[in-house]
Amino acid sequence: MITTDKTAKEIFHEVLGNSQRAPFGFGDKAVLINVDPQKAYTRTDLYKTAYESDPRQLEYVNALARGVRALGWPVVWSHVAYLDSAEDAGIWGTRTDTPDSLQNIKYGSDRAAFDERVEIDHSRDVIYTKRMPSVFFETPLASLLVWHKVDTVIVTGGSTSGCVRATVVDSLSHGYRTIVPMECVADKHESYHYANLTDMHLKYADVMPVAEVQAWLDGRAAAQG
């Protein structure tokens, strides 16, 4: 095992700056998957379970969503919510039982509600309620992506070390080129955030500035005329 005195952030930027690493790259058609931008995880002024890495995160996410929609491609939003009994949280919901615990994000609650700042087009965007970390797990996402014939998955949301990472690993496992706009994901702690960005970039995805993702979308829109 390599040991170091460098921070996770320093290691990430070293890895990101390695020009010799071959990217997976973009394909021909993308889906935007926004993982759990709900109040329990975004409203730092209301809930101690919330977190923020970049204060403009949701602004960037909304811009990406507009760009993806303009191309006629799918936009997906997920959130977690559970029954009053919490039985649908399974073993994941057994470690703690406080008002802030995962399994106590109940259907119809404020914690389960999407952040008011996200711009969801309810006439065309797809919304999934999930119970486990990955958006792929026990939702219709896999068949949706087959229907749309996408080859590229853009993932935003939180947390970087949890539900984002799980979704990214599943995306690669399903055979998709996977893109993580670095300003569009967040975590509770800087160390977890950057360590997982590093790991995803090395193994499972292309982590890049959101400006590069937006530029790709703009280029595809220009090509369509």
The catalytic residue positions are 163
Helix ranges, the chain (H) = 8-16, 39-42, 57-70, 141-148, 165-173, 190-203, 210-224
CB burial of 208-217 (b: ≥16 within 10 Å; e: otherwise) equals bebeebbebb
In the numeric block, the tokens 């969801």 are attached to: 120
Question: With 0-12 CB in 10 A as exposed, 13-18 as middle and 19+ as buried, what is 14?
Answer: exposed
Residues paired with 77 in a beta bridge: 34, 127
Question: With 0-12 CB in 10 A as exposed, 13-18 as middle and 19+ as buried, what is 1?
Answer: exposed
